[in-house]
Every structure is written in structure tokens, then in C-alpha cells.
Structure 1
């Protein structure tokens, strides 16, 4: 078979797979693209490479993609160039404006170069309305789109245990399961935009949980407790949480490096509040948490992890959990 005929056969196969699937996705029949190789994206992309998939990657800072190139990925100069070599294109970038740029820009965006039957999978936490817009634009080209934001932080990305919230055509999500299973557990949440709504609800829950976690730690410290022992004691009770498991010990060690950036959490909570306004609902815990995280950003701490919320509580109470012993004055 000539090279041209093999290329045509590959493109025909991917179109048929997502319209009327005949064989599951595998490294032998599906080329992947990845846009955004930051804290989360790097680990997720690496899992797919190690699973045997051929990947083409793009990152605005090209040097940050070099470790993936060392693993075997191909480096592209633009999102458009990624899509030209891919059947399924994943993206996980910072902000809704970045999503719009890397996927929908008519000159450099991925959709412009994606062939009919191809799939966009945006794993950025973004606006539900933008997910609906991307899906409509993809459908107009004979392509598919899934909004699939994730939860689990850097640890979940490294371990391949992310919770994935997927919105879009159920058949498309089902076809993508061999890829999602490499990254974590996919949960089908409904039509386009429902993945984003699910992730935003997840962020609402996390926001108040983080406030409770750090308030409990400050309270225990001021009461003269060994905070490490306190965290261990509550971890198996009703106060136990994934946030406690992921961040309690990090806070005690003063490890405030980002598994998920404060800047991005402020963005997420801002989107949540905007959607609350659209829905006509009031979530006071969300509003309080957003104010506290905005305070971190105002202090120039936006590039720390969400566990850095402890710094706000320490400033409010004029204490530090890093002191050798608590003050009972």
C-alpha cells in the first residue's frame, strides 16, 4: 500500500470509529496530540506515551515540553500543527481565553487543522458556555468535542488516578475510554458543558473543605495539640477528606509548592460565582473561600498551591504553625 493510501486509510478509519466504531482505540490506530504540558499535562501526557501512543505536543514555553520529547513525543510549533498530525487532540491550559486561543483561533488553533472525524478533548477547567461553543464549532467541521476537566491534583496526575468529568456525546466518551483509563476514571456527566459544570461543583466542594482543613489546623495548634497527631486522628473519622490526605502533611512540612495553582483556583472560583449569578443562587461558603484565595493572590502568592491558604489564616491570627510550640496566650 502506498504512503498516500495508508494516510487515507488511517483518516477513514478514525472517521468510522467515532461515527460507527468498529474497533477500539489503540496505539496502532490512533494518533494523539497534546496542548499544554504544565504541572498536570506533563504527567498525563507521559502516561499516554508510556502506554505506547504516538503523541505530538505543544507548549507555549517549548523548553517545558522537552522532557516529553525525550520520552518520544514529537514537538509541534503551534496547536494547529499538533492537530494536523493527530486524530484526538487533548488540551489542558490555564484560562478560558487560552482554551479559545489554542482550539478556536482560525489561524493557529487546533480545530482549523483537525480532519473530519477527529476529536477535541479539553481537560482545562473552563466556562460551560465555551464548551458548548467548541462543540458546535467542531460539529460544523464534522468533528467531535468533549469537555473533560479533571480533579486529583498533581498527585492524581502522576499516579494516573484522576477523576475525569466528561461532557459531550456519550458515544464519543465511550469510544475514548481506552485513553481516559490511562489517566484515571472517567465519569460521563451529560451533554456538552456538563463536564465543566461538574468540575465547578467539585471546586465549590473543595473550596469549603480547604477552609475547614486549615481552620481546624489553626484551632488545634492554638489549643496546644500536636497538629500532626491531630490530623492523623481525624483522618479516619467523619472529618477525613481527600484534601486532608493530599495537603495536611504538606502544610505541616511548609510544602506550599503548586500541585494546583492558587491563580488557577481563583479563576475557577470566579467562574463558579459567575454561574451562581446566572442560576440565581447564593453560595456563601464559596464566596468566602474566593475572597480568602484572592487575598493570597494579592500578596503575590498566586503561584503557590491551594494549600497555601494556611498563610491567610496565619496572618489573620498572627501565628505560624511552623513555630516549635503553640502560644496559649
Structure 2
């Protein structure tokens, strides 16, 4: 079986395990990262490109997994990734970026006879490591079928619609994630402040209508106070900002998204933008002067000093 040559751009928290899965599946891989040292673990198993241009020229398929739209624009356009791709190749942008940017990049690719998909993901670092990501693909159906086997190496693929639809689905996902993290934070703090055991509350809720993946995983993180980043709060803030920008473009008002955006903004302003996004609990504790799970929670008039 002949495998296409893949260049993977962005070896970060998500990109590294995704690249590992592609190598394990037998794909010839070239990797490039803005911080070159992050490519070092792949030196014996993949080609490390010295530049975006070199990565582009080595590829039948380019997968992009970068932190934000500005980074994607810099790599695809300013550093010339699209300009150095051969006709017939395919760009798969799996980053989270504005839908308008996806459409603009697709137009640049189409002008050079290059396929393009916006295919952001959900599932976090655990899903990336387990090849269990939910992949939301926007773009031409024939282009998706051309690279489906590659994407299925990384997770479950759903064709959402035309270019930009994948990014719209990701915004919908992040709205639900951010708002639900806020709801779980408030629910557990409310119960604990009244004297209930938050461990038992979470266990009881997991068996009822309020059960969710957020309650299961992030509720446990809150109880354990484990805020090591799987998905940093600053990234969730970026996503909430994109949700509100898209809402304004569509002349929509989203009060819950606005409120959660403001809470993540406060969390980042308090120097906790690198905490996991479940760390939104920390912002809620700060404004209430209390801490989840303490036997005797201090009053707001006497906030904690630490």
C-alpha cells in the first residue's frame, strides 16, 4: 500500500500525540514547529523540516495544528506554505480559527489547484493520544474522501458542510464546553458552601439528567484541584472571543457566552491563563472569597490570603 507523504505543522500539546498516531499508522511524516526543539522527539522517526517551505515541498497532505488564527495566517500565507505546495496537494487545517479565515485560505488554495479542509477537533489531549478525536470537517466532499483514511487515523470524522462549517461546529462545541464548565463550577461551589460533600454531589449528578462529560472529567479536576493544562484557559478565552465575534457578524446576542467570556478574561487577568480551562472554578472562588471543598468556607468578608 502506498501512503501519502504528510507534513505536520505544529508539534504542541495536541499536535505531538496526533503526529505519533500518524507515524504508528505507517505514514511518512515531516514535522515543523515554530519552536524547533519540540520536534526533537521525532528525529529518529520523521523528517524535521528546517522551514515551512521545506515542509510544504515534501508534502502530498499538510496538516496544520496551531494555537490560533493569527499563527495559521502567518504560516499558510506570510511564511508561504500555500505558495510552496504542489497542485493536487491538500491542506487540512485542524486548528481553531475564524470561519472567515478558513474561507479565505480555501480561496487561496483553490487558485493554485490545492484542496482545502477546515477540520478542527474536540477531545483534548486525551482524545489526541487515544486517536479518539471528534473531527468536524468543512469543505468539498470529494476532498474529504481523498484524505478520510488519514483523518480516521486521528479520530471520528463528520462532514459538517462547506468550507468554514467545520470551524462553526468547533465554535458551537466550545460554547457548550465553556458554558458547561461555568455551570459545573457554580453547582459544585453552591453545594459545598451549603454543607454538601462535592464528591458525593458529583457522584449523584453523574447518575441523573445533569450528567455530562464535563461533569465527569472537569468536575473531578475541580474536586482534585488538578488544573495542569490539558486545554489552557487562555485558549478557551480565545475561543469564547471568536464565538462572540461570529455572533456579532450574524447579528446575534449570546448572553451566556458573553458572561463566560468575561469570567475567563478575569481568570487570565488574575495570572491563571495557563491553568486548565476547568480552572474557571478559580475565578469563581476569587469573586466569592471561598474555596471548594473546605470544611468551613470563609465568608466573603474574610477572603483567603493564598
TM normalised by structure 1 equals 0.88
Query: How far has the Cα of 1:297 moved from its partner?
Result: 1.0
Partner of 2:49: 76
Q: 1:195-240: CA deviations, max 9, x gaps?
A: 0011111111112111101011101211222211211211131111
Check the 8 A contact 1:254/1:322 in 2, yes or no: no
Residue 31 in structure 1 maps to residue 1 in structure 2:
no
Q: Distance in 2 between matches of 1:231 and 1:201?
A: 25
Query: How far has the Cα of 1:326 moved from its partner?
Result: 3.9
Name segments (4+ residues, structure 1) moved above 2 Å: 326-329
User: Which of 288, 310, 316 is the aligned partner of 2:281?
Assistant: 310
Q: Distance in 2 between matches of 1:327 and 1:206?
A: 28
| Secondary structure of the structure 2 residue equivalent to 1:81 | helix
1:1-329 aligned at under 5 Å gives the runs 28-70=2-44, 72-105=45-78, 108-321=79-292, 323=294, 325-327=295-297
Q: 1:165-221: CA deviations, max 9, x gaps?
A: 100101111221111111111110111111001111111111211110101110121
Q: Distance in 1 between matches of 2:179 and 2:3?
A: 44
Query: How far has the Cα of 1:153 moved from its partner?
Result: 1.0
Q: Distance in 1 between matches of 2:275 and 2:62?
A: 29
Query: How far has the Cα of 1:69 moved from its partner?
Result: 2.6
CA root-mean-square deviation: 1.4
Query: How far has the Cα of 1:85 moved from its partner?
Result: 0.6
Query: How far has the Cα of 1:116 moved from its partner?
Result: 0.7
When residues 80 and 322 of structure 1 are mapped into structure 2, their CA distance, relative to the original with a 3 A threshold, is farther
Query: How far has the Cα of 1:322 moved from its partner?
Result: 5.1
Q: Distance in 1 between matches of 2:114 and 2:92?
A: 11
Q: Distance in 1 between matches of 2:29 and 2:157?
A: 21
Q: Distance in 1 between matches of 2:169 and 2:145?
A: 18
Consecutive unaligned residues of structure 1, counting only runs of 5 or more, are 1-25
Check the 8 A contact 1:36/1:93 in 2, yes or no: yes
| Secondary structure of the structure 1 residue equivalent to 2:160 | strand
| Secondary structure of the structure 2 residue equivalent to 1:164 | strand
Q: Distance in 2 between matches of 1:226 and 1:65?
A: 45
Query: How far has the Cα of 1:318 moved from its partner?
Result: 1.1
Query: How far has the Cα of 1:104 moved from its partner?
Result: 1.4
Query: How far has the Cα of 1:77 moved from its partner?
Result: 1.6
TM normalised by structure 2 equals 0.94
Check the 8 A contact 1:127/1:271 in 2, yes or no: yes
Q: Distance in 1 between matches of 2:214 and 2:31?
A: 31
Give the aligned length.
299
When residues 98 and 299 of structure 1 are mapped into structure 2, their CA distance, relative to the original with a 3 A threshold, is same
Consecutive unaligned residues of structure 2, counting only runs of 5 or more, are 300-306
